[in-house]
Amino acid sequence: MYADLWSFALSTYARSGCEAACLRLQEQGADVCLLLCGAWLEQRGVAQTPERLQALRHVASPWQAQVIEPLRQVRVQWRAIAQQDEVLEKLRERVKALELDAERELLTRLEAAAQAWPTEEGQHRWLEGLATEAANLDHDALQLLRAVAAST
């Protein structure tokens, strides 16, 4: 088990099938950083409560909207044209690195918000609580993320 969320997220995301599942959930409006945090909390045995869900969303929503999404939009917007422009491709790679740095910072903030929450026995269904309604309909992707995270 990984003590810190960043190491857990890197290890989990690198496992077979996880990236594809996370991207499917992201396309459905889910925040992958929140979902990875939820999987980390499930693995640690932290009880999910409405107040804790809200606390994590309160941390993630503004950072996602104001920092990560604008970087992602630029990166995606430049994808096609950068294939024919070497300078733009290098700039796009820098934007991609900034996006990853921003995601790492969000995971650090989420970990700080959740670090003191105690572990407890019982069911801990963080993924369903943190997924959007549309992403909640993709049970296969959520279950794959949960299974991969449990084996990390």
Residuewise pLDDT in 10s, the chain (152 residues): 568 999 999 999 999 999 999 999 999 999 999 999 999 999 999 999 999 999 999 999 999 999 999 999 999 999 999 999 999 999 999 999 999 999 999 999 999 999 999 988 766 789 999 998 887 888 899 999 999 988 87
Is the distance from CB of 141 to CB of 21 less than 8 angstroms? yes
pTM for this one?
A: 0.92
Neighbours of 72 (CB within 10 A): 17
Distance from C-alpha of 84 to C-alpha of 150, rounded to nearest angstrom: 42
